[in-house]
Amino acid sequence: MSDATGAKVQIQTGAVGAFLRLAGGYFLRGKGAKWLGAGLLALTLLQILIQIRFNLWNRDFFNALENRDRNAFLWQMVLFVGLAGSSMITAVYQLYMKQLVQLRWREWLTRRLLDLWMTNARHYQLERAGESDNPDQRIAEDARLAVDLAVDFATGIFNSVVMLIAFIGILWSISGALNLTVAGHAITIPGYMVWAALIYAAIGSGLTYLVGRPMVALNFWRTAKEADFRFGLVRARESSEGIALIGGETDERRGLAKLFTNVADAVRDLMKSQRKLMWLTSAYGMLTSVFPTVVAAPSYFSGAITLGGLMQIGSAFGSVQSSLNWFVDNFPRLAEWRSSVERLLSFRESLRVIEEMVQDGDQPTIVRVEEKAGEEERVAFRDVQVAFANGSVVIAEASAEIRAGERVLVKGESGTGKSTLFRAFAGIWPWGSGEIHMPPREATMFMPQRPYIPLGTLRGALSYPSAPDKVSNKAAVAALERVGLSHLEDRLDGEERWDQVLSLGEQQRLAFARLLLQKPRWIFMDEATAALDEENQDAMMRLVLEELPKSALISIGHRPGLDAFHERTLHLQRGPEGARLAIRPPGRVLRARKIRIRNPFNRRVRATAG
């Protein structure tokens, strides 16, 4: 077996209970969920009643044949048409009702998972912490499988239990007693066909569990590898330009081939396990077709039962076996369901870990205090230490304060933690310690180097994160003209992949147009002009100062000329003693202020405002 056998896949116990705690709330709070569930069970019960009536028809039909009773035969054919029609109608609506329950339940669970994932930057923190792989696949595919198969299993188990109760009674009453003589002692076994069915099903279920048990872990492993391969393909598609420009197709093929090799290895391991199970289930199924007839044949040959009775016994035995063999027949799907549920549960657990760490975890985190409306707005960080998710420190014990309306430029070498500090300002980077005071969220706007351009219309990209109808046509056109994108005015309501249609420079200018429309009191720019030439950069920065003269501006940037648009500079600089934080106005020196920080190697250094 390949690497799958060595993988330590942690399968939690009580998966059913854990899944119901995660998803079972739908049947308590989902709109119309109880009625849908009740309707599905009612249709399932009706179908079972029809099957019971079919069992009686089976007896009467073959008795009519045996007795050569033409009138009885014709009546049974009329009855068959009625039963068959009823069964067809019930089956159609039962399937529709089941699919409706599956869809509504999946909608409810997907919305819940999206709420958990897309709240308070949990999606970003989860990715940075490396707590859970492929969350998109878990929400889209695993949620679908978990819900669809859960409904299938619930209706299947209900059907099997009711069928078992009904047909055990029928089988007990028609099979009679079996008289045996063992060592000179007469033994009578009442309802012997029932005991034969129970023993037969118990042997089959036990063997199936023993042979098929490894399939749960193997399904989990295969699903994970399929998700990795799918992610690699999507990443290659999204990065196609960079791959083509650098001529990296050979390396990409090698990487994708390796990912698919992992998929193939996982599938081979699963195939081997399924092959073993197939040997068992095939032999078991073949024996089931003749077993009841062989066991009941002595009673038929002795004249104790008629041909109709023999057929009825065979039909009832088959129904009992079908009920008892539900586990045998569905074990591969149970294994698939279990692996999907485990992935969903581990995803939810990862989100819970992130949530507890941020809110009330044992390890220290950065405390972000958002000022209330009416209070004096500021950005202030006191004794802030910024770390990575693995605990290594990137910025240590720094303190500073920026007042409303100030314009501050943050500079420093790559890797000194400038962008990470901005993420802490935004509240999406919890790792570290200390306290950050921020203005209200609705008063701020963060502009990363690569702006996020959502799917949909250009108007929607301009208004993001507000709804497209919040931006009038006049305001949108004016904003585009101000940033030099007037050639896009006629395409405001056109749906495109705007992140691919627009160059990075155009995307950055679109972000400035978005800024003009939203008019925040606090603007945070992280290399927001990096893709612009110096002339366009100066034009965008002048535009901000002209249109939003009272807004505070905090920028990260290396480009020459940015200093002219800021009142002071916060400089993170490496040195032989570690990082140095200096705060300077352009062209003159401020009075020194001391700020102590601690570097990742625990060497104490001093940072001053020069």
354-374 pLDDT tens trace: 777 666 555 678 788 887 766
Q: Are 227 and 347 in contact (CB under 8 A)?
A: no
Location of structure tokens 């250094």: 605
Q: Are 36 and 101 in contact (CB under 8 A)?
A: yes
Location of structure tokens 């699903």: 223
Beta bridge partners of 583: 570
**All residues at 6 or more sequence positions from 301 whose CB lies less than 8 Å from its CB, including other chains:** none
**What is the pTM for the complete model shown?**
0.64
pLDDT tens, position by position, 291-330 = 676 666 766 676 666 676 677 677 677 667 667 667 767 7
How does 286-318 read in b/e, with b if 16+ C-beta sit within 10 Å? Answer: eebeebbeebbeebbeeeebeebbbbbbbbbbb
pLDDT of residue 514: 92
Q: Backbone phi, then psi, for 373, in 5-degree steps?
A: -60, 140
Most confident of 366-380, 528-542, 556-570: 528-542
183 burial (CB, 10 Å; 0-12 / 13-18 / 19+) is: exposed
The tokens describing 312, both together, are 């009825």
Mean predicted lDDT score pLDDT of the chain: 78
User: Of 17-31, 122-136, 264-278, where does mean pLDDT reach its minimum?
Assistant: 122-136
pLDDT of residue 556: 87
Instruction: Give 86 or 399, the one with higher predicted confidence.
Output: 86
Instruction: Give 353 or 582, the one with higher predicted confidence.
Output: 353
Q: What is the mean pLDDT of residues 237-261?
A: 80
pLDDT tens, position by position, 147-176 = 998 898 888 888 888 877 777 777 777 666
Rounded Cα–Cα distance for residues 137 and 148 (Å):
16
Rounded Cα–Cα distance for residues 242 and 239 (Å):
6
Rounded Cα–Cα distance for residues 171 and 58 (Å):
14
Does 605 have pLDDT greater than 50? no
pLDDT tens, position by position, 442-500 = 889 999 888 888 888 999 989 888 888 888 889 999 999 999 999 998 899 888 888 88
Instruction: Give 283 or 401, the one with higher predicted confidence.
Output: 401
Indicate the angle between helix axes 70-117 and 15-23, nearest 10 degrees: 70
pLDDT of residue 512: 94
- CA–CA distances in Å: residue 207 to residues 212, 279, 325, 328, 338: 8, 11, 12, 9, 19
pLDDT of residue 602: 31
pLDDT of residue 168: 75
Q: What percent of the chain has pLDDT over 70?
A: 78
User: Of 40-49, 350-359, 493-502, where does mean pLDDT reach its minimum?
Assistant: 350-359
* pLDDT range class, residue 272, cuts 50, 70, 90: confident
The tokens describing 571, both together, are 């400089």
Does 13 have pLDDT greater than 50? no
pLDDT of residue 610: 27
* Helix/strand/coil percentages in the chain, nearest 5: 60, 15, 25
> Mind listing the domains of the chain with CATH numbers?
3-360 (1.20.1560.10), 367-453+502-608 (3.40.50.300)
Does 594 have pLDDT greater than 60? no
From the list 131, 103, 81, the residue with the least C-alpha distance to 347 is 131
pLDDT of residue 393: 76
Q: Are 460 and 468 in contact (CB under 8 A)?
A: yes
Q: 538: how many CB neighbours lie within 10 A of its CB?
A: 17
Does 579 have pLDDT greater than 50? no
Instruction: Give 191 or 43, the one with higher predicted confidence.
Output: 43
pLDDT of residue 328: 67
**All residues at 6 or more sequence positions from 307 whose CB lies less than 8 Å from its CB, including other chains:** 62, 63, 65, 66, 300
Does 196 have pLDDT greater than 70? yes
pLDDT of residue 603: 29
Task: Work out whether strand 432-438 and strand 367-370 pair parallel, antiparallel, or are unpaired.
Answer: parallel
Instruction: Give 77 or 21, the one with higher predicted confidence.
Output: 77
Does 266 have pLDDT greater than 60? yes
Rounded Cα–Cα distance for residues 383 and 22 (Å):
39
- CA–CA distances in Å: residue 461 to residues 458, 493, 497, 507, 510: 5, 10, 11, 10, 8
pLDDT of residue 321: 67
Vertex 531: Cα angle to 422 and 488 (nearest 5): 110
- Residue 431 DSSP one-character state: B
Location of structure tokens 């008019």: 519
115 burial (CB, 10 Å; 0-12 / 13-18 / 19+) is: exposed
pLDDT of residue 554: 92
Rounded Cα–Cα distance for residues 579 and 413 (Å):
10
Q: What is the dihedral of CA 58, 61, 66, 72, to 10 degrees?
A: 160
Q: What is the mean pLDDT of residues 234-260?
A: 80
SS3 label, residue 213: coil
pLDDT of residue 574: 57
* pLDDT range class, residue 20, cuts 50, 70, 90: confident
Beta bridge partners of 435: 367, 382
pLDDT of residue 239: 75
Instruction: Give 180 or 483, the one with higher predicted confidence.
Output: 483
pLDDT of residue 177: 64
